[in-house]
Structure 1
């Protein structure tokens, strides 16, 4: 009896929160033994577009059914009538645990009236709630995915685990904005339906189902993005309809540098970790070979250094050693840009680098083609916070010695060799040119909001005044416009669009003779620029130029909607 009494004292008084070598919290375990829970919302923060529309369609009206309904008489016909399904369908889903009613394998989504009507029935064991059940995601790559990583959770949120707010199995951000803003999004407490069970685990009939949620009216937080949901969905439709397998598009607001739409292919299965680990990354943030799009940088330097006079023999190949694949004759600098003559830009780049070997890096930066272009800065206690932690840096030269090798200079001048830039950076370059040279860091998030809509933190605009003269910017704008207006321009297909377009095409060799990267980057309307758009198809051997088609179709779709 003394030993038994000592054991009870140990359990009840001294080791109630840390019993045995496994440090078991007996108080929590005893509650869990008699009270079970149905999670209806994990408490993680959400994403909305610039106008407040939800980008992740995952909270719906749902009906929860408790297992004792199998053994009692209840008005299942009335519930079936409200849901417009058969009573048999409802009864077949009842199990030994509470379930959220499904139809055709998916959670049955209820209207606000259905939620009200079901709860008005006041049937014990039938509860209609707004639950987080998963759903369609707009801008899946940009928003990103969540997943479980016990080690990371313990390292980053040990205090929350100790406080009992989260468990080591709580999902955290793995990619995209889910990853960048994880510290703000991580749950502050679940919303649950609680019910008592008997010793066999069966729900106790007659006990009230209770709703448990965090009492904090400010959480979970809301991330207000810069996206326009209508433009984003329109972009996704255009890219899907084109049949593009790898690539995508980026649409920026010229004046603010905000992302309005972003699509990356292949698509990311948002609720599957495997899609991310198998390489379905955001191609719009990844650095790729740009091809002739990079000639825009050489053109800016040539205009500023006054290297544009005279005629260029475009019946020579890139190195001036023989005929090119397509002979173009003697062309002016403007004609060379419109028709994308490689020899002209190889020759000019060679002259520029002889005078200043860092000339391409400097002019790329002045055009907004910086190492990275996404917003970065201090946010609360986070130093150098990045909205795009996965953005890959720009590269122009891999080896400094290449600046003294003529063939390496020629290849670099036309965006080949080791040149790598992301579509996001190219879009920022076009936006910079369109607004006259002012460089702005690209943003995807406008502000972090409390649950009640109050602003927790707003992201300020990070801008740099132009270092290029008005003369340079005006001539650069005219060059980009000539690509479309010229009868032999590489962008002449856009002449028939309902708005005026300026831009530059690019076809980049990938190292495999059969596969290329195809680009078109530009802005519109030309007279009063509003949008900067980049469309790119990566590593393709298709005859059709899908990048050009996507650019044209999206511009036309935006114009037709009057947006």
Structure 2
């Protein structure tokens, strides 16, 4: 009996040792970089226990503006100090003299530090090139002047660029075949999300030194610089944003207290986004659960009278724009007397300039009788519905979208609405179910200004390797589908200019601007109320200079009462700013 018990215990012990050995092999040799379901990098964690480090660059790719300036981050030359300096007799006075930082402040900062730090973080003191050379010329162990990557306190075009965060579950879902740390940052919105696969880090750049249990140097004061040493990564996304124009546009939007809305500015030369401002701004304390993360410029909105541009295009092609025909603009679209905007009898051109609802309600009904799909077809021809952001084949992705979170516009939601004359009249003035993004409205203006040529809107022109060479180009692409004829575009151009030059036009405020403007206003009823007052979306969409178009601009203020929240002054100041910028 005792032999059986001994044999059983021996078997249990051997089995336990085998399992223990297997576990050790798994930990030490097999799953060293992706241990457990949390994919813990045991090599990194073991190094952390016996080292202290300062990350200089987290390794994630960067976003640049069209001129090569970093948008989300900045590289700053800073003074880096290591805690072990408290155990050394170092020349603090020389460091103080070079940096103009009092010696007492340096000493106090080092004494309270538990890990390496850039002096003055989170707003470090920036060193000049001369100061950087002098500091490193001192050769003091634990004292360095290095260029470190910092996130900007205010990121231009933040909703367009997007946000990043840690999300282990989403990381595993997106990249099941990649061995990545749970703490790897991934894009959760905007371009950060669209380009996420290209932006993933190859590794961090950091200063490292080894310590014992008390934090004292283990191998002397030898600090090592650790870098992935890959000349190609991290990559840079070259956006189309002009940082200077973007920052000025954001100041103007905030100056006019736009709480919900913003603007889109397109460079018509290559149909790209020069500036995009969305409000509300991102809440830094709680970015992912606030409305600020939403890019209002790529979200569908009620467009109101801006949609009359679509009705006008269809009317021109169907010969419904007879200049001798008069419309009774003393009535609303339902036939009741128009008490607020009683314009009397107006022809087609004056109706457009003064934005007469009766005219375009009637025209929409006539178009519907001829073809129930007419409004939708012309909205598509003017790129107002569907996606307008750049998309195409990139590597293994056949339908890569730069603006992955872009909404599509629409005219009708049901066949019933499509064939109902009352709904047609409401749709003709941009109400009922009509929706479009401010980005698509801007692209509609650019399409008209170009004579009917539809193009995709780019937010990025290329992906560049770290060494500056091109990894991927995003060429100018035409939008698929039919478009309006050059003749129709020419007549629309004159109508849009008449909005400004007509003494009674809704854009007459823009007559004295340094650039000649053509465009269309819009005031849409949202169906929402605040303190008993109806809320509206206020629009002005246009392009300029009229004779030689260069810019398409949309300014919109959402959910404001009728007597407030206009966008005319914002649009005008943007035109003035761009004119002054071009003169320089």
Range class of TM-score, shorter chain = over 0.9
Match of 1:145 in 2: 163
Residues 220-274 of structure 1, C-alpha deviations (whole Å, 9 max, x = no match): 00111111222212212221222221111111122321111111112225xx482
SS at 2:151's partner residue? coil
Moved more, 298-307 or 144-153: 144-153
For residue 418 of structure 2, the aligned residue among 382, 389, 403 is 403
Compute the displacement of 1:7 (Å).
10
Match of 1:554 in 2: 574
For residue 259 of structure 1, the aligned residue among 273, 283, 288 is 273
SS at 1:276's partner residue? coil
Moved more, 133-142 or 528-537: 133-142
Match of 1:192 in 2: 206
Contact 2:368–2:421, Cα closer than 8 Å, also in 1: no
Note closer, same or farther for the CA distance 1:114–1:205 as it changes in structure 2 (3 Å cut). farther
Residues 532-554 of structure 1, C-alpha deviations (whole Å, 9 max, x = no match): 00000111127344411110000
Match of 1:53 in 2: 69
C-alpha distance in structure 2 between counterparts of 1:546 and 1:116, whole Å: 54
Task: Report the count of equivalent residues.
Answer: 556
For residue 520 of structure 1, the aligned residue among 535, 540, 549 is 540
* Residue 290 of structure 2 corresponds to residue 278 of structure 1: yes
For residue 124 of structure 1, the aligned residue among 129, 135, 141 is 141
Residues 331-379 of structure 1, C-alpha deviations (whole Å, 9 max, x = no match): 0000000000000000000010011111111101111213111111111
Match of 1:530 in 2: 550
C-alpha distance in structure 2 between counterparts of 1:292 and 1:229, whole Å: 32
* Residue 343 of structure 2 corresponds to residue 325 of structure 1: no
Contact 2:300–2:409, Cα closer than 8 Å, also in 1: yes
For residue 128 of structure 2, the aligned residue among 102, 108, 111 is 111
Residues 269-288 of structure 1, C-alpha deviations (whole Å, 9 max, x = no match): 5xx48223212111111111
* Residue 521 of structure 2 corresponds to residue 505 of structure 1: yes
Compute the displacement of 1:25 (Å).
7.1
Match of 1:288 in 2: 301
Match of 2:500 in 1: 484
Match of 1:67 in 2: 83
Note closer, same or farther for the CA distance 1:187–1:114 as it changes in structure 2 (3 Å cut). same
TM-score, normalised by the number of residues in structure 1: 0.93
SS at 1:249's partner residue? strand
Structure 1 residues without counterparts, runs of 5 or longer: none
Match of 1:222 in 2: 236
Compute the displacement of 1:77 (Å).
2.0
Moved over 4 A (4+): 2-15, 18-30
C-alpha distance in structure 2 between counterparts of 1:71 and 1:409, whole Å: 81
* Residue 303 of structure 2 corresponds to residue 303 of structure 1: no
Contact 1:449–1:457, Cα closer than 8 Å, also in 2: yes
For residue 203 of structure 1, the aligned residue among 211, 214, 217 is 217
Aligned-CA RMSD value: 2.5
Compute the displacement of 1:12 (Å).
7.3
Residues 496-553 of structure 1, C-alpha deviations (whole Å, 9 max, x = no match): 1011000000001111243211000000000111110000011112734441111000
Contact 1:314–1:330, Cα closer than 8 Å, also in 2: yes
SS at 1:439's partner residue? coil
Contact 1:107–1:133, Cα closer than 8 Å, also in 2: no
TM-score, normalised by the number of residues in structure 2: 0.90
Compute the displacement of 1:460 (Å).
2.0
SS at 1:363's partner residue? helix
SS at 1:172's partner residue? strand
C-alpha distance in structure 2 between counterparts of 1:390 and 1:59, whole Å: 30
Match of 2:385 in 1: 370
Compute the displacement of 1:319 (Å).
1.4
SS at 1:89's partner residue? helix
